[in-house]
């Protein structure tokens, strides 16, 4: 006598295969891509290309117009969705700046919490794209 596999076996196999195909979709961002600030981010403001590089050791650099000189450097700290910038060199501010940030896919948006540095505000506020 031949044993038939029940229909629940086939349904499970179909659902498992569909889930595997969805999770392996190359066009979908991985959880790391959509949540990490580490990396290079750019935006263009009034014809000037700005790049912020967030390093894994909590250091950051800002460059204007892709020249070989780093224009501002310092450190950052993160608590929840809030980031605090501490400039250490270049066109720096002595006062820390605090912003909320949101990352969605390859876009990151900063909104002001507290920063007395007009220069840093004009650079940071807005939407950045991950390189």
CA angle 78, 83, 89 (to 5 degrees): 105
Does this model's pTM top 0.85? My answer is no
Residues 74, 87 contacting (CB under 8 angstroms): yes
User: What is the dotted CATH code of the domain comprising 31-130?
Assistant: 2.40.128.370
The pLDDT tens digits of the residues spanning 39-97 come to: 999 999 999 999 999 999 999 999 998 788 999 999 999 999 999 999 999 989 999 99
Quote the pLDDT of residue 17.
37
Give phi and psi for 9, each to the nearest 5.
-60, -45
Residues 82, 96 contacting (CB under 8 angstroms): no
Q: What is the spatial distance between Cα 3 and Cα 111, in angstroms, rounded to a whole number?
A: 64
Give strand pairing partners of 126: 110
Quote the pLDDT of residue 130.
97
Percent of the chain with pLDDT strictly greater than 70: 74
What are the residue boundaries of the structural domains of the chain, listed by start?
31-130
Quote the pLDDT of residue 2.
53
Residues 54, 76 contacting (CB under 8 angstroms): yes
């Amino acid at each position: 006598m031949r044993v038939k596999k029940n229909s629940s076996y086939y349904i499970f196999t179909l659902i498992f295969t569909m889930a595997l195909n969805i999770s392996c979709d190359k066009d979908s961002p991985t959880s790391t891509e959509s949540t990490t600030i580490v990396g290079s981010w750019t935006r263009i403001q009034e014809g000037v290309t700005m790049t912020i590089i967030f390093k894994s050791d909590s250091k950051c650099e800002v460059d204007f117009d892709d020249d070989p000189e780093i224009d501002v450097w310092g450190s950052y700290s993160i608590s929840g969705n809030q980031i605090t910038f501490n400039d250490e060199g270049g066109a720096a501010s002595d006062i820390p700046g605090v912003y909320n940030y949101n990352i969605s896919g390859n876009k990151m948006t900063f909104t002001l919490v507290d920063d007395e540095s007009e220069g840093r505000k004009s650079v940071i506020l807005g939407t950045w794209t991950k390189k």
